């Protein structure tokens, strides 16, 4: 059984972003994309904001290994194991990313993990974590 075209699209996007080429992926994002990510309390809501987010310098280095990408005409789910490194500390966590795809464009994305609060705390950095305690 071959991958659904939307699953192939998301697999390509994950591999392309991972290689550092966020600009090439711009073509598959809807202009009014809604992108939910662990590192921001509010979603990214436009293609321009999405590109700025991916192009920004970050103190966090991240990588992922794709376990599976499955899809149908409306949705794609990508299962990954991610690593994030900040100030010499590294965490690893599992993620399920759910994409809504319409007419070959990603219109929304959500991500969920087995330990979301630990990820949010890590990505927020020590200054925000210290303020909350």
Q: Dump pLDDT digits (tens) for 25-53.
A: 899 999 999 999 988 889 999 998 988 88
Tens of pLDDT, residues 90-118 = 999 999 999 999 999 999 999 999 889 99
pLDDT, residue 91, reads: 95
C-alpha dihedral sign at 6, 10, 13, 19: negative
pTM given for the model: 0.86
Q: Decide if pLDDT at 131 tops 80.
A: no
CATH of 5-126, one of 2.60.40.1080, 3.30.1490.20, 3.10.450.50, 2.60.40.1120: 3.10.450.50
């Amino acid at each position: 059984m071959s991958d659904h075209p939307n699953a192939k699209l998301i697999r390509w996007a994950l591999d392309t972003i991972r290689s550092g080429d966020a600009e090439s992926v711009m073509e598959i994002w809807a202009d009014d994309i809604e992108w939910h990510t662990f590192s921001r309390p509010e979603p990214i809501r436009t293609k321009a904001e999405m590109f700025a987010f991916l192009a920004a310098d970050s103190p966090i280095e991240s990588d992922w290994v794709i376990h599976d990408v499955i899809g149908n005409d409306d949705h794609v789910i990508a299962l990954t194991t991610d690593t994030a490194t900040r100030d010499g500390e590294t965490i690893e966590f599992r993620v399920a990313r759910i994409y809504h795809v319409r007419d070959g464009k990603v219109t929304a994305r959500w991500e969920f993990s087995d330990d979301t609060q630990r990820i949010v705390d890590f990505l927020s950095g020590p200054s925000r974590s210290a303020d909350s305690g």
